[in-house]
Amino acid sequence: MMKTNSTTAKIKVLLIALLLTFGQFYSQTHNGAVGINTTSPNPNSVLDVISGNNNKGILIPRLTEAQRDAITINKPQDDGLTIYNTTEDCFNYWSLADDEWKSVCGQLGKAVFTIDCSAAKAMGTYVKGRDLTASNYLSISVNVTKIGNYTISGTTPNGYNFYGTGTFLNTGIQTIRIAGQGNPLNIQTDTVSLNANGTDVTCTPPVSVTVLSPAGTFTMSCGSATVNGVYKVGTALGASNTITLPVNVSSLGSYTVTSNTVDGISFSGSGTFTATGNQNITLSGTGTPTSTSVKTLTLTSDSQGGVSTTCAVNVIVVIPKKTVLHIGLETAYGYSAFTGPSRSLMDSPTNFGTTASSIVKYEGFTHTSLGNSPSSAALQTALNAKPDIVIIGYNYTPNATDAGYIASYLNKKGIVIALTDDTGTAQNLFRGIFSDPTISASNGAGAGSVYALSNTDDPVLNGPFGDVRGKNWGEDASTTVGMSGLTSGFIPYSYAQPINSTTARTGISGLRSSSVNFIWFGDGGFLSNENANGNPYSSNTIEPFVAPSSGGYFPVQKATYGYAGNGYSTGGMQVQNSILFANMIAWAIKQAEFSGINTQ
């Protein structure tokens, strides 16, 4: 045993001596280079590793990012220290110059983020046999805690998947789109399996996609569509902003109806028809209106069978508040629209408001008044402030200078509604506005006169509050003014001859200019009604304006009006003064928004 030990010790000494000799010879021969699986290491390399069968690699220390950051760095000595970052899936090295760990994948490396499952959803419509398009994507909300690159995928077992890659340049909550691709194979509800930067993400409940059957055959009735909700510039559409679209289904299947995007908004809807015949479908809106212009949206369906697949729907956006300057006598009779039922009509949200049921979608008025007898200087100052609309009532009497100021305001696209029955006032206004000194005004018939309205297709005669073409308006307590000498540049609403009088009258008793924003009727009491609640005043010959508070001050005709004559009995006519006025205001709001003094 002792002999054996002696022999073993001798062998060990010999091996050590041989290794030292070999190491010295090898280093000298190869200039200090070490080779693995090679007897001729690269002379410029300290270590030259060869894969003998070309099927192996080299592994350097693999650390998580947390483990890497736990290394105590000796800055001068560790410059170039290299590890493989398993968190980032990339090589990192310590840089003395930058005093930080660097990634060879770039400065950013792999992002760190979490997915908000509650906000993750599949967008678009998925139909068996139909290739996914740009409208098919996953909307993913993420919270980024470290900027960098990301790869997110969503897979299904049904022939289509989602994939997206990119770079987060900012931390915080943000929403990204993960594009879809493929073609659904079966009609079913699929669970989308999410993976973020190589890690599976489990959502409860999971993101799901319902694949619909191929489209059925149906026609759309856009002319009967109902646009629901209120639309405002700068306000994002919500759940109440929908279109109810009537359709007639002739064969069952899925449906998809989408609109183009107009001024920032669009609509879409999808589902499956389970019955044929007439029914309604709902299209949901998205986006934010960028202007108050009427949006004409083209609806496109995937209906089969050769039927028409497009039609148009208009969406009305709320018009912002406008300023109204009132000039006229403010009494209980309501000659000026600054007081009385006419003011209530203007301020009623039933008529002009932001509710879904408002007749005109509008945010309301800012009312100011100059009273009945403003000085020329006060008038000029008020008009220079550029009110959107000016309403003139009884018994304001502008002189020639005032008429010139009003004409100048109109030429700058201001809006004037003048309801006057003074000949001097009317003559000054018309001569100033139409630049014609030969225009003249004269008194016409008296209280209870009824005038026929023309059949012209006009936004005041046929507006949102009613079609009064071929109907009548009524003169209040004084006498109507008629204008003569007008040759062009106007649209006649009514002439000076009452329908209930045989006395011949000539001239015009109501008109709208075709060149400037000017409406005129020759009666200062056009708005008259001393009943604050807007109910009909009992007389048949005075106070023709009716807008009952019980109806939200909605304008209605006065059902019994006029003196007897020319075959008509006392109170045997109907007059539409309040409906006309409401249509005038609706016209004025639209003009002010799209072609007014403050749109220059």
Q: Identify the CA nearest to 545 among candidates 446, 479, 474.
A: 474
Cis before 205 (ω within 30): yes
Under 8 Å between Cβ of 520 and 439:
no
Read off the pLDDT of each residue in 94-122 and give the average, rounded to a whole number.
85
- The tokens 């225009």 sit on which residue? 439
* CATH label, 322-595, candidates 3.40.50, 1.20.1250, 3.40.1090, 2.30.30: 3.40.50
Long-range contacts of 150-154 (CB under 8 A, 24+ apart): 150/110, 150/111, 150/113, 150/196, 150/197, 151/196, 151/197, 151/198, 152/115, 152/176, 152/178, 152/194, 152/195, 152/196, 152/197, 153/178, 153/194, 153/195, 154/178, 154/192, 154/193, 154/194, 154/195, 154/207
Main-chain phi, psi angles of 213, to 5 degrees: -75, 160
Share of the chain above pLDDT 90, in %: 74
DSSP SS3 for 129: coil
pLDDT at 482: 96
Query: Is residue 8 pLDDT above 80, yes or no?
Result: no
pLDDT at 127: 85
Same fold flag, 217-315 and 322-595: no
* Residue 69 DSSP class: H
Under 8 Å between Cβ of 250 and 298:
no
Which residues is 39 bridged to in the sheet?
none
pLDDT at 110: 80
Q: Identify the CA nearest to 71 among candidates 60, 59, 55, 83.
A: 83
pLDDT at 9: 46
Q: Identify the CA nearest to 136 among candidates 121, 151, 125.
A: 125
pLDDT at 42: 85
Read off the pLDDT of each residue in 122-145 and give the average, rounded to a whole number.
91
Under 8 Å between Cβ of 288 and 237:
yes
- Cα separation of 580 and 493, whole Å? 11
CA dihedral 440, 441, 442, 445 (to 10 degrees): 140
The CATH number given to 112-212 is 2.60.40
Check residues 92 and 468 and name the one with the higher pLDDT. Answer: 468
Query: Is residue 13 pLDDT above 80, yes or no?
Result: no
What is each CA distance from 530 to 323, 333, 341, 526, 539, in whole angstroms?
25, 4, 8, 12, 11
pLDDT at 39: 83
Query: Is residue 347 pLDDT above 90, yes or no?
Result: yes
Question: What digits encode the pLDDT tens for the residues 515-548?
Answer: 999 999 999 999 999 999 999 999 999 999 999 9
Question: What digits encode the pLDDT tens for the residues 358-371?
Answer: 999 999 999 999 99
pLDDT at 272: 85
Query: Is residue 104 pLDDT above 90, yes or no?
Result: no
Q: Is residue 590 within a helix (H) or strand (E), and if so which, with residue range?
A: helix 577-595
Q: Which two tokens stand for residue 404?
A: 């010139």
Query: Is residue 7 pLDDT above 70, yes or no?
Result: no
Long-range contacts of 578-581 (CB under 8 A, 24+ apart): 578/341, 578/342, 578/345, 578/545, 578/546, 578/547, 579/465, 579/466, 579/468, 579/555, 580/453, 580/460, 580/461, 580/468, 580/473, 580/521, 581/337, 581/342, 581/345, 581/526, 581/527, 581/545, 581/555
pLDDT at 475: 97
Share of the chain above pLDDT 70, in %: 94
Average pLDDT over the chain, rounded to an integer? 91
Under 8 Å between Cβ of 252 and 216:
yes
Question: What digits encode the pLDDT tens for the residues 501-517?
Answer: 999 999 999 999 999 99
Phi-psi region of 473 (alpha: psi -120 to 50; beta: other; left: phi over 0): beta
* Domain positions in the chain: 17-51, 59-107, 112-212, 217-315, 322-595
pLDDT at 31: 62
pLDDT at 107: 59
Task: DSSP for 463-509, please give it.
Answer: ETTEE-TT-EEE--SS--EEEE---SSEEEEEES--TT--S---SEE
Task: DSSP for 389-407, please give it.
Answer: EEEE-TT----HHHHHHHH
CATH topology of domain 217-315: Immunoglobulin-like (2.60.40)
Query: Is residue 278 pLDDT above 60, yes or no?
Result: yes
pLDDT at 30: 54
- Cα separation of 282 and 229, whole Å? 13
Question: What digits encode the pLDDT tens for the residues 452-497?
Answer: 999 999 999 999 999 999 999 999 999 999 999 998 999 999 999 9
CA dihedral 245, 250, 256, 257 (to 10 degrees): -30
Q: Is residue 416 within a helix (H) or strand (E), and if so which, with residue range?
A: strand 415-419
pLDDT at 571: 97
Angle at 464 between CA 458 and CA 465, to 5 degrees: 105
Read off the pLDDT of each residue in 117-125 and give the average, rounded to a whole number.
91
Query: Is residue 17 pLDDT above 50, yes or no?
Result: no
Query: Is residue 20 pLDDT above 70, yes or no?
Result: no
- The tokens 């980032």 sit on which residue? 88
Under 8 Å between Cβ of 375 and 381:
no
Q: Which two tokens stand for residue 315?
A: 């969406």
- Alpha helices, DSSP H only, in 40-144? 65-69, 75-78
What is each CA distance from 387 to 291, 361, 383, 391, 393, in whole angstroms?
21, 20, 6, 10, 17
AA letter at 116 = D
Query: Is residue 231 pLDDT above 50, yes or no?
Result: yes
Which residues is 83 bridged to in the sheet?
92
* pLDDT band, residue 414 (cuts 50/70/90): very high
AA letter at 577 = N
Q: Identify the CA nearest to 188 among candidates 206, 205, 211.
A: 211
Which residues is 327 bridged to in the sheet?
392
Query: Is residue 216 pLDDT above 60, yes or no?
Result: yes
Q: Identify the CA nearest to 367 among candidates 349, 351, 384, 344.
A: 344
